[in-house]
Amino acid sequence: MQFGRSAGGGARGAALLTLGSIVSVQSGSALATGLFDSVGPAGAVFLRASFGAIALLIFTLARGAPLRIWKWPHRDVWLLSVSVAAVNLFFYAALDRLPLGITVTLEFVGPLGVAVLGSRRPRDVLWVVLAAAGIVLLSDGSGGGIDGLGVALALTAGFFWGAYIVLSDRVGALAPGPGGATMAAVLSAAMVAPLGIAQGGTDLLAASTLLAGAAVGVLSTAIPYAAEMEALRRLPRAVFGVLMSLEPAVAAAIGFIALSQDLEALEIIAIGLVVIASAGALRSAATPAPHD
């Protein structure tokens, strides 16, 4: 795709939207950690999912997209719902044990794995090696200071993030517009409700908790969804993927600024390796392979 003057400006604006989406998501995650003491990770997931689903419903209806809520959802919508619920539950459980930057870095193996599996270039082995080196450094290179269960939870969240990416493409192909994704958000909120309510109890009804939960839902779900939808209209997918690979680094920065979560030099190097691997793999996967 070639950009003229006005298109270039549109691309720069889309890049800023993508970066804004990343900052919004990670700010929401940082804010969610403040809910763990009162309602637990599952309670925080329930609040995020509920308010996020409400925001997406409003967004979808405002765009005039049909929801067809009276019709039994397609199998892929159900599978997407399970993936959304699982990635959030495992991510927040990991976030309760690990710093934000490390959690997001480990979770990013999901998008990285999807990108590598979607490409047939021999050089993509390099991205796997770099990412594996980063994960080993994070898991084992801090003098045993990293919580092992937290690492397992974050990697499991990464698996479901990869499933979410694959299923999002399938659901998006069922019908144009955000209706399918919104329906998946509503269903996932219902799925996490029993666990979230059991863990959060009556503390979920506190005014301050509801306000924080609404902010988390908007920051982590509604704003990123709208921003990324608009950015993908103006950016090549390869460029979008490279920008999204900055997410672990942004998460580490927000963890440091908002949560005072310091990282050791080895952990910063590990995060850098995963960012480089993710950027290379995502760009490679989105670029057509040359013909023999």
pLDDT tens figures, 228-247: 888 877 877 777 878 888 89
Give burial (CB, 10 Å; 0-12/13-18/19+) of 270: buried
State the Cα–Cα distance between residues 127 and 229, nearest whole angstrom.
27
| CA-wise closest residue to 7 among 243, 232, 234 | 234
Which pLDDT value is given to residue 22? 94
Residue with tokens 């976030």, as numbered in its chain: 95
Question: Among 48-52, 74-78, 156-160, 237-241, where is mean pLDDT lowest?
Answer: 237-241
Is residue 111 pLDDT above 60, yes or no? yes
Is residue 166 pLDDT above 90, yes or no? no
Angle, helices 109-117/148-174, rounded to nearest 10 degrees:
50
8: which residues sit within 8 A by CB, 6+ positions away?
A: none
> With bands split at pLDDT 50, 70 and 90, how would you rate the model's confidence at 50?
very high
Tokens of 42: 């599952």
Percent of the chain past pLDDT 90, that is, above it, reads 48
Tokens of 168: 């999002």
> With bands split at pLDDT 50, 70 and 90, how would you rate the model's confidence at 132?
confident
HEC per residue, the chain:
CCCCHHHHHHHHHHHHHHHHHHHHHHHHHHHHHCCHHHHHHHHHHHHHHHHHHHHHHHHHHHCCCCCCCCCCCCHHHHHHHHHHHHHHHHHHHHHCCCCHHHHHHHHCHHHHHHHHHCCCCCCHHHHHHHHHHHHHHHHHCCCCCCCHHHHHHHHHHHHHHHHHHHHHHHHHHHCCCCHHHHHHHHHHHHHHHHHHHHHHHHHHHCHHHHHHHHHHHHHHHHHHHHHHHHHHHHCCHHHHHHHHCCHHHHHHHHHHHHHCCCCCHHHHHHHHHHHHHHHHHHHHHHCCCCCC
State the Cα–Cα distance between residues 43 and 246, nearest whole angstrom.
28
Question: Among 122-131, 134-143, 153-162, 225-234, where is mean pLDDT lowest?
Answer: 134-143
Q: What are the structural domain ranges in the chain? A: 19-286
Mean pLDDT score across all residues of the chain: 85
Q: Which residue has the higher pLDDT, 125 or 248?
A: 248
What would the mean pLDDT of 179-189 be, rounded to a whole number?
86
State the Cα–Cα distance between residues 89 and 68, nearest whole angstrom.
27
Percent of the chain past pLDDT 70, that is, above it, reads 87
What would the mean pLDDT of 204-222 be, rounded to a whole number?
95
- Whole-model pTM: value is 0.87
